[in-house]
Amino acid sequence: MPTIFTRIIHGEIPGRIIWRDDTCVAMIDIRPLNTGHVLVIPIAEVDRWTDLPAETAAHCTVVAHTIGRAQMVAFSPARIGLMIAGFEVPHTHLHVVPIDHMGHLNFAEADPDVAPSDLDAVAEQLRAALRADGHGAVV
């Protein structure tokens, strides 16, 4: 059975995808740890990131770096956090999170009630920052 991420990637259910290339997508997390939280997800449905081909893992990290730079422009956080936890969905995904303190990396503090319009606004801010930096994979 496909994961929820695979279903979003294939357009079966909606998602706020901001980046798509032949290897991965990046989308806004619907339960953000902080404003601007993005997931970078390989298109290949692989549960553990250590089972990804090294080239796919490296590519996802490069995309996470690109997204992080856009988050710095869009939200001006103190730092950008990067995590691979892997327990929420059995499909590798990198959490790229604008952070001002370590509490912004605490999954117990994720916001389950963000207004859809707020998530849409975050997606647009990040798309604009990515386009302004000349990236062509912006959706």
29-76 residue pLDDT tens: 999 999 999 999 999 999 999 999 999 999 999 999 999 999 999 999
Our count of domains for the chain comes to 1
Provide the token pair at 2: 């496909």
pLDDT at residue number 86: 85
CATH number of the domain bearing residue 121: 3.30.428.10
Look at residue 80 and tell me if it is in a domain: yes
Only one residue has tokens 């730079």, namely 69
Three-state DSSP at 92 gives coil
In this predicted structure, the answer to whether residue 1 has a pLDDT above a threshold of 90 is no
Three-state DSSP at 80 gives strand
Q: Residue 52's domain spans which residues?
A: 4-132
Nearest-10 Cα torsion for 3, 28, 18, 47: -30
Look at residue 125 and tell me if it is in a domain: yes
Percent of the chain at pLDDT > 70 equals 100
Instruction: Tell me, yes or no, if the pTM score tops 0.85.
Output: yes
Mean pLDDT across the chain: 97
